[in-house]
Structure 1
């Protein structure tokens, strides 16, 4: 875990913003995000971003002090990965470590909708080895593959045993506000051994109910429809999507201010 994260862990509520481009990085930092999750293709839940964007995010992180975590997800769809796909994830973790990012976000399931313990154990060991080699550990987040687990309380115990620092989850519902009962139960079960990071549909309207579960880290995209309409020719050729959205600095700031006003832990 980075020094910046370690200083605030357990003392105040934190906002993580997921972004997919340079504009998103800049908007999240300017709006007051506590941490950034770096992705590509947020429209399908996020995929691994290109190495060039990773390096740019690392430079922005160094300049601003805002930690950046890399999502390592090699393709859209489910989370049952072949050995070759697991090797891609391992290589992406190395990219994050060598670029100087603060952490990585990974996950994998088996065919029975349980965590793929052998695959995750190998990836966690790889991450820890890379952290040791650079003299600064990589913070480890288990991503929302967790929400597809048939037994989430059991999966939480596995995540603790594996050595994850946090779990990104919506409580098993498509939107976190609809999974508040499970989020509260998971937070209570975690008992300080692992952080429950609540994400999906986090907004100023849903934030109070989500924070009422006891969680102290929330994850949001803070995206709004793009102010710039796509060129009709770009749409016709399929080079742009009609419903483009972008990280909005004001949306980040509004949510960050609400999070900052939440009472600190004793």
Structure 2
């Protein structure tokens, strides 16, 4: 059976390349170099004009996921912008100072996002007990969890991801991400049994040294249509 391929992007060019390559869904962000932040309202509107469904990251700053009341208000207002742009869903996460999921904050955000799809992001990779957090995600009504299995790369967290798939038992999708490519995805899917996959399918674009202060070290990343196509082929599309 073909599996769902979600591509994370932070530009309208990235959305267009992912769509052209056959992506099933987009995670729309700003600043993927920071792990993904809330995209600009203009990017949301531009992405909504294309045919591929987009879920907007709701993350007001870099760092871990303990948020102030002011942060949460910003996130609620950003969710309103997602609705205004008519995107398909949101990507959320919040935790308490002790590291566990902040279900109260997540409840507020999900209430603001009523009518949208919802993914719990990789906050689940930094909680003390990911399997307990998975149950909370099911109870709160998330559609899926994005995870690397608590490791830097999903391939290194495969054992935890397998445990999450078993525990989920079809109640919620487990979507691995981080370090998955067209070269390793076939074996990884066979090992874990996942039905959804998250990747960037990006290439590095050198921009020279003259304006190096304005580009990430080593060059800017761009979504590659051909890599998306190859990933889809490896997933059995």
Q: TM-score range by the shorter chain?
A: over 0.9
Q: Give the unaligned 5+ runs of structure 1.
A: 1-10, 132-137, 262-266
Match of 1:234 among 211, 218, 230: 211
Give the equivalent residue in structure 1 for 2:28: 38
Instruction: Give the ranges of 4+ consecutive aligned residues of structure 1 lying more than 3 Å apart after TM superposition.
Output: none
Shift of 1:231: 4.4
TM-score of the two chains, using structure 2 as the length reference: 0.96
1:95-134 superposed matches below 5 A: 95-128=81-114, 131=115
Q: Does residue 203 of the first structure (1) align with residue 197 of the second (2)?
A: no
Match of 2:77 among 85, 91, 98: 91
Question: What is the alpha-carbon root mean square deviation over aligned residues?
Answer: 1.2
SS in 2 for 1:232: coil
Shift of 1:242: 4.0
Q: Does residue 252 of the first structure (1) align with residue 225 of the second (2)?
A: no
SS in 2 for 1:69: strand
Shift of 1:127: 1.1
User: Residue deviations 1:76-106, cap 9 Å, x none?
Assistant: 0110000110111111111111111011000
TM-score of the two chains, using structure 1 as the length reference: 0.86
Aligned length: 235
1:1-266 superposed matches below 5 A: 12-60=2-50, 64=51, 66-128=52-114, 131=115, 138-212=116-190, 213-226=192-205, 229-235=206-212, 238-243=213-218, 244-261=220-237
SS in 1 for 2:226: helix
Q: Give the unaligned 5+ runs of structure 2.
A: none
Q: Is the 8 A contact 2:186 2:235 kept in 1?
A: no
Richer in helix (by share): 1
Cα distance in 2 for partners of 1:27, 1:107 equals 27
Q: Is the 8 A contact 1:200 1:220 kept in 2?
A: yes
Cα distance in 2 for partners of 1:50, 1:82 equals 21
